[in-house]
Amino acid sequence: MLRKSLFAGVAFSLFATLASAQESPPGRIQPTQDRKPPAATTAEPNAGVLFAPERVDSEGVATIRGEKIPYRAVAGTIVVHPRGWDDAARREKSPEGKELGAGANPEAEASMFYVAYFKKGAPSAERPVTFIYNGGPGSSTMWLHMGAFGPKKVVTVDNGTHTPAAPYSIVNNDNSILDATDMVFIDAPGTGFSRIAGKDKEKAFWGVDQDAYAFEQFILAFLSQYGRWNSPKFLFGESYGTPRSAVLINNLTTGDSVDFNGVMLLSQILNFALSVDGVDNNPGSDTAYITALPTYAATAWHYKLVPNAPADVTTFLKQVEHWATTDYATALLAGAELDPAAKRKVAEQYAAYTGLPVDYVLKADLRITGGMFEKTLQSARGLTTGRIDTRFFGPDMDPLSKEADYDPQGAALSSAYVTAFNEYARGVLGYGAGKTFKPSIPVFRFWDNAHQPPGARFPPRAMLNVMPDLATAMKYNPNLKVSLMGGYYDLATPYFQGWYEMHHLPIPDSLQANIEYHYYPSGHMVYAQDASARALHDDVAGFITKNRR
């Protein structure tokens, strides 16, 4: 995978507004040089026509921390329409219809694939339901399904190297959250087994607001179809799934009068101006360098490149966070006025924390992008450091390149997840015969990033920022709880960036108490590390249990 969007959702994205600022954003998609959007359909039987909902039922038993939990599984589709479709449908086709904007297409449809797990014997009015999705944009949700919370998981290597090829082991998932909540794993339109009907209809679903509206319609339809209106309700998004959640929870809360109990954000990015990928194309904006520095330091600590480092990474990172927001931030703020001797002193401390050469830091003017760090940290060994998870590494693609050319973690795990989900969906869930599963689709360069935050007085900025959306939902529903989770070794969405965003939300100080924080010695896909996967289960299950009423 070349430098891509938000991996798994993997996370991730980072998308169209960043297109000019970075080769590719967080997420698990392959950027393409072709400016023509890929076809939304394949040669499958229903391609290019309106869809009919599908459903396949099955049963199983999960074992979670020694407890056997019988469940009913449903693999199927729910059909949704784009924004403005109902208004457009009431009009005759005319040029005036274009005034409705992107998404106002009465002929477009999306068939959104999902897998739902319901604990048997649990009253629906009391049983929580959690809607789960990865990001990209352009990623399916197989990562969270087969790696984090589904009743089965794929076994992968967690020593920073490549997982061997098939056969892969698919085993009981002791960290599934089925003990705390029913689960609904959702594939975005065009990804996984989800499809978009008709030619040239992608723009009706490929964009910040279009995507959130599709998920909004899916959730409302699901609540009605399965009688879950009075259940405790939660959202769980990873990577680009976190900005999706911010827009989605605001739509549901303020637009549909549907309050949720909580929102869980794994590997968060809400303000894309804080991405350390491509920040060098936006000179004068230095905050991303500050919030990425702790992840650089954690990575250097992991590879034992930090002299006299504390034995505990969290203790070390507290030191780095303080220096990054004081001495380092002051140096960046000084710009050209920074004294050369003071600059060298800062460069020396930066190098000591990050394992990079002092001269390299000085040549970079104290400003190191994510791609530069990944390329340079282990370049003497001919290795590229991972982006999604910096604990992973692989051979350099091009020893002379300025930035990393691919992500070793994506290369190490993707085949296992793709294979495992195809095997599980077709062999256990009984869904997918005659269909192609799309782990990811290359929507990055075609994503409509136009988004008007609630209450905004001016047109959308170049960089997406959905912090106002989450803030509005929290103020509208002051009981809404938020959990932020991140990995110390995630360089796609650095953990300190998420902390910074949450501490700069435009909300009253009293609502800060509604936010909790959890960090793990893992990467973007926190659950790719066994101990972190176990801790993630405990934090998520605990969050749901205490906020279900």
Alpha carbons 526 and 533: distance in angstroms, whole number? 6
- Position 104 scores a pLDDT of 55
Residue 330 neighbours by CB distance under 10 Å: 12
Mean pLDDT of 356-380: 97
Confidence (pLDDT) at 65 = 95
Give the per-residue pLDDT at 94. 39
- Mean pLDDT across the chain: 87
The domain locations on the chain are 16-271+414-546, 274-404
Enumerate residues 6+ apart whose C-beta is below 8 A from 131. 184, 186, 215, 219, 222, 233, 234, 235, 236
Does the structure show a pLDDT above 60 at 263? yes
List strand residue ranges (DSSP E) for 210-337, in order. Answer: 233-238, 262-266
**Tens of pLDDT, residues 415-438:** 999 999 999 999 999 999 999 999
Give the residue with greater pLDDT, 26 vs 127: 127
φ/ψ of residue 236, rounded to 5: -135, 115
Q: What is the pLDDT of residues 312-364, one digit of tens each?
A: 999 999 999 999 999 999 999 999 999 999 999 999 999 999 999 999 999 99
Q: Nearest-CA neighbor of 186 among 235, 246, 152, 231?
A: 235
List, in sequence order, every beta strand (DSSP E) within 20-83.
55-64, 67-80
- Residue among 389, 253, 349, 273 nearest 18 (CA): 273
Which tokens in the block code for residue 164?
A: 């061997």
**Per-residue confidence (pLDDT) for residue 145, from 0 to 100:** 98
- State mean pLDDT over 363-388: 96
Q: Is the pLDDT of residue 44 over 80?
A: no
pLDDT of 458: 66
Instruction: State the pLDDT at residue 86.
Output: 63
> What pLDDT, on the 0 to 100 scale, is given for residue 40?
36
Residue 198: predicted pLDDT: 65
Instruction: Kindly state the DSSP code that residue 455 receives in the 8-state scheme.
Output: T
Give pLDDT, residue 92. Answer: 40
Does the pLDDT of residue 49 top 90, yes or no? no
Q: What is the pLDDT of residue 531?
A: 96
DSSP 397-432: S-TT-SS-SB-HHHHHHHHHHHHHHHHHIIIII---
Range 512-534 burial, b when 16+ CB lie within 10 A, else e: eebbbebbbbbbbbbbbbeebbe
Give mean pLDDT, residues 57-79.
97
Give the pLDDT score at 200. Answer: 66
Q: Does residue 10 surpass a pLDDT of 60?
A: no
CATH 3.40.50.1820 fits 16-271+414-546, yes or no: yes
- Predicted confidence at residue 406, as pLDDT, reads 86
Q: What is the pLDDT of residues 203-231, one digit of tens each?
A: 889 999 999 999 999 999 999 999 999 99
For the ranges 41-45, 519-523, 529-533, the lowest mean pLDDT is seen at 41-45
What percent of the chain is predicted at pLDDT more than 70? Answer: 85
Report the sign of the C-alpha dihedral through residues 16, 21, 26, 31, in that order. positive
